[in-house]
Structure formats: C-alpha cells, structure tokens
Structure 1
Amino acid sequence: MDKLPKIGLPIIIAIVIIVVLLAKSSVNIGYGEAGVLFKTFGGGVVTDEPALGEGFQIIAPWNKVYIYNTKQQEVFEKKMQVLSSNGLEISLDVSVLYQPQLANLGLLHQTKGENYLDIVIVPEIRAVARSVVGRYTPEQLYSTKRDAIQNEIYEETKRKVEPQYIQLNSVLVRDVTLPPTIKQAIERKLKQEQESLEYEFRLVTAAKEAQKVIIEAQGKADANKILSASLTDKILQDKGIEATVKLSESANSKVIVIGSGDSGMPIILGNQ
C-alpha cells in the first residue's frame, strides 16, 4: 500500500508533462489564416519555407507560431485632412482594401510585425493622399477628377506597400468635403456653365432650323424658276383651253365666253 502512491506520483507527473508538451506542440490555425513559425533554437523567424496553413499543426514545444489573418481586410480613414493645389483644406474619406502577401508572410513578420497596418499602410495612404490631392484644385476634386485622383492614390500607394510584403487590392475615395463657401461657389459656376451650354445648344438648333427653311425656300424658288422657263405661250394657251372646256362641262357652272383676250384665251364673264 505504501509503494502504490510512490509509483503513481511519477506517472501522474509524466502525464502532466506529456499534456503540457502536447499543448505546447500543437496549434490550430483557422480559416483564412496562416502561421509564421519562430524557431527558438533554429534561427528565429522562418522565411524560406511556406507559412503554416489552416488546420491542426504540430510543432516543437519550444517553438512558437504567430497567426495572421490572410483574408482581404479594410481600413477606413475618415476625415483625412489634405491641402489642394491652391492651399485650401480638403477632407477625404478613404477606404483601403488589403491583405498580407501569403508567400512572403515570414518576411512581413520579420520586418514589420503583426502591427503592419499601423506601421505601413496607414502612414503610406495618408502621405500619398496628401501628395496626390495637392496636384488638383478644389473644383477638380469636387467634379471631374474624382476617379483620376482615386486611381493615382491607389497606384502610388501600391508601389510603396507591395515591396513591404503587403498586397493592396483597392483604394476607394468615398467622400470629398470642401469648405462650404468653396463648395457653393463651385456649384454656382457649374450651374452657370450648364445654362450656357443649354443656351448654345438652343442657338445651334435654331440656326439649323433657319438653314433648313432657307434651303427649302431656295429649292422651291429654283423649281418655280425652272417651271417658268419651261412654260411657253403655246403651252399656256393649251392649258387655258383645257381649263375652259372642263369648266363648261361642269353641271354647276354657267359660263359665258365672248371673244378672246390679248393672249387669245377666252374671256370668262360669269360662272353662276
């Protein structure tokens, strides 16, 4: 009876040690995640091997795994203050869609760490936005150049962050806020320009209509001129005789013809 507890104690201790080692030697990586292995006695962060994938992983108990979210993520920079080309303060709302480069996850962890969002992405997007917006006037920011500005911010930020092992998927300029007085002035100018374009359109339309009337009138005049030139005295006399005959044959007409006119046509005195 005295020997049993002495034998059982080492077994219990061994079981505890095994459980602890198993707990230290296993890691569960969730969906959309990947792990960076840190070898305590083998060179630190592993950068020359693929990151650990999803699921249950076994590692040496003295090593450690840093888990990263590899899905697309979004950071929203609200009311970011920038200056236009003429020095006016503009407020931007910008969304950045990003994710770590899976193939270079070890290098990202080694050089930037888990807080790479605040170390790389946020400072770069702010710096690039200020640089890009500073090339444009408030009017361009408000109206015609929104898409161009968005594309420039994306391309320039991408060039800066991708060498730092971060994949930039998109940059969206969600809102541009101008000082109220500048916004009102721009809206008035745009309205005046629109009214001017409408007035010019009406003038062009009226000019085209007038030209159409002139062309139609000229065509009729030319036709009449050609017709007049083709009508000889003999043709007119024949036409007059035909008309007189038809009038005399009408049941509702009484025609008295006396002599003839200077042109040789009959003279019509009445048709009652």
Structure 2
Amino acid sequence: MLFAAIIFLVLALIALLVARGYKSTSPTGERTKKTSVVATWVSASLALIAVTFAAFASFYTQDAGTAVVEKDITGNIVGQSNSTGLHGKAPWVNTVEFSIRNQQVVFAGTSDNDSDNNGGVANGAQITVQDADGVSSNIDIALRYSIAPDSVTDIYKEFLSEENFKKSFIEQDVRSVVRLVPNQFSTLDLLTKRGEVEAAVLEALEDRWSDDGVIVDSISLQEIRVPDAVKESYAAAQQAQINVTKETANLEAAQVSAQQKVVQAQAEADANAILNGSLTENILSQRYLDTLKELAAAGNLVVVPEGFNGLVNVTK
C-alpha cells in the first residue's frame, strides 16, 4: 500500500509540475490553458489516490488466533498486537502475522511426501531411533503445539517468519528429542509401554521449550516399527510365556486334585479308625447274639459247636 501511495504521489507531483509549466510558458493560449487545467485535475486525482492508499496503509485487521509484529521500513520492530479487530499504524510500518492457534507437526512414512495419516502430507519422514538394547526402530509421531502470544516478537527477531521458525526450530527439536528418549527404554518396553514413552517425549519437549514460548498440547506415537527379526523373537517369547502359564495352570490343577485325594483318603482312614476303636469285645458279643436271634426268628436252625468261630446254616 505504501509503495503504491508513493508512486501515485510522485505521479501527482509530475502532473502538477506539468500543469504549472504549461501555465507559465503560455498564459494567453486557450489550448495551453486547457492542458494546464487537465494536468492540474490529473495531479489532484493522483494525489487523492495516493492519500487513499496511504490511509489504507495506516490500518490493518487482526483475526482471532493470530499475533502481529509491527516493523518499520528499516526493519526495526515498533510494536506487537495480540488483540483482534481494526488497528492503526504509521503507513511506513509493515505487519507480520504469526498463528497462535494449535498447530501440528507429523513425521511418518519413508519419504517427505508420505501421508500424515490424517488426510494431509507429513512434515517429514519417520524418525529412526535406537533403544537401550541397541535395536534400531522407526517411529511415526504427531505433535500438536501452540505459540505463546507474548513470545512472538522474540521469535520474529530470531527467525523472521513463522515458516522458518517451524522448519528450523520446531521440526528440528522434535526429531532430536524423539531420537534421544528411546535410549531410556528396552526394546520390549518400547513395544509394550507406549504410554510411558509418549509421556517421556512430552516431558523432554516441555523442558526444552520452557523458555522459548512454545506450548506442547499433545503427542501421539502413531506407530513403532521394529525389525522383523525382533518382532518374530517377541512373538516367540510371548508364545513361550503362554505355554509356561498354561503348564503352570495344569500343574496347579494336578496338585489340587492330588490334595483332594489325600484329604479324602485321610478322611476314610480317620473314619475306619474311629469305627475300629468303637468295636469293643462286649459290642462284638452283643452283635453276635443279635445275629443269632435274627436267624432263629426267620426259622433257621443254627448249630454252633463249642470253640467254632464260624456259622453253619441248616434249613428245615
């Protein structure tokens, strides 16, 4: 706007000089007089256009979710605005917008043009990491972050634009931290404790950016790809653990069954011991006599020789 205003102002001055020139060289000529009048009107029109452009250059609108840095034509920062609406400024002051909304960085796939798994294009390829066991894996990760409004001026001073800030700072730090954090985890933990790995990455980035005006909103480890040999070994280890659990359960069941049999046998032995202990000589003699009575009552003849321990049944 300011550049256009300057151009029209220059043209207005030129037209004004032309008008004055025609007026001074031929004050009595009718054609020359008309030319001078036309040049004067052209000059006035151009001046009005220049003023209009200068007026437009003196205001700007700011949307929600943005912060604006104001700088003059020499590059000096003269102000910053964090509020929405219409703002005034000097015509020679330019504005640079920074988004303070939630933004996303995704590293996924094997090349820079792969999908971000959300309908867009990833910011970069997968990140290769090495865990505490020395095993290399590839990680797809998505990060959501936002910029603190009060830090926009400092960010502009160092990076000049939001795009440079994202490429040179955010993306580089994410790659660096994601490469370092898995060194604290074993291969098995990296596969089975994804929540703990995410929390460790989040904490590391928050510590790294605590003084830089960057707020980490969320982190998602979308996928962790370990070498095929590691996956096969892990699957075999899982199956072995399942087999051990199964055999342990079978052994425990057998032990319970054996214990039940022991308890049953002990109960029977205890019952027999009680029974045997209760069969005294008097009780046995009484049962002997009761049996003879029952046989006699049924019409049977029972002969018991003296000293004979058995019975001989003689029917009628």
TM range (shorter): 0.7 to 0.9
Which residue in the other structure is 1:135 paired with? 184
Cα 1:198–1:45 change in 2 (3 A) is farther
**Is 1:93 matched up with 2:123?**
no
TM-score normalised per structure 1: 0.75
Q: 1:212 aligns with which of 243, 260, 264?
A: 260
C-alpha change, 1:206 and 1:27, in structure 2 (3 Å) is farther
What is the rounded CA distance, in whole Å, between the counterparts of 1:117 and 1:207 in structure 2? Answer: 65
Q: Are 2:66 and 2:82, in contact at CA under 8 Å, matched by a contact in 1?
A: yes
Q: Unaligned stretches of 5+ in structure 2? A: 1-32, 109-125
Q: How many equivalent residue pairs?
A: 260
Alignment match, 1:27: 60
TM-score w.r.t. structure 2 length? 0.66
Superposition CA RMSD, Å: 4.0
**1:188 Cα deviation after fit:** 1.6
Choose from 192, 196, 201 the match for 2:249.
201
The residue type equivalent to 2:213 in the other structure is Y
Q: For the residues of structure 1 that align with 2:295 and 2:152, how far apart are their CA atoms? A: 107
Contact 1:120 1:161 in 2 (8 A): no
d(CA) in 2 for partners of 1:6, 1:205:
111
- Correspondence for 1:121: 170
Mapping 1:65-80, distance limit 5 Å: 65-78=95-108, 79-80=126-127
Q: Does 1:64 align with 2:94?
A: yes
1:233, distance to aligned residue in structure 2 (A): 5.4
Residues 6-17 of structure 1: pairs in structure 2 closer than 5 A:
8-9=41-42, 11-17=44-50
- List runs of 5+ in structure 1 lacking aligned partners: none
Q: Does 1:54 align with 2:101?
A: no
- Residue 235 of structure 1, CA deviation: 5.7
Contact 2:295 2:302 in 1 (8 A): no
1:35 shift after superposition: 2.2
Q: Which amino acid letter does the alignment assign opposite residue 139 of structure 2?
A: L
Please state how far the C-alpha of 1:201 moved relative to its aligned partner. 2.4
- 1:38 alignment partner, one of 70, 75, 92: 70
Does structure 1 retain, via aligned residues, the 8 Å contact 2:151–2:212? no
Show CA shifts across 1:135-175 (max 9, x none). 33433323x33322222122112211232111112222111
Instruction: Tell me the SS of whatever aligns to 2:180.
Output: helix
Change (3 A) 1:157 1:232: same
SS at match of 2:209: helix
C-alpha spacing 1:189/1:42, structure 2 compared with 1 (3 Å): closer
User: Is contact 1:255-1:268 (8 Å) kept?
Assistant: no
Shift of 1:10: 5.2
3-state DSSP class of the match of 1:162? coil
| Helix, strand or coil at the partner of 1:218 | helix
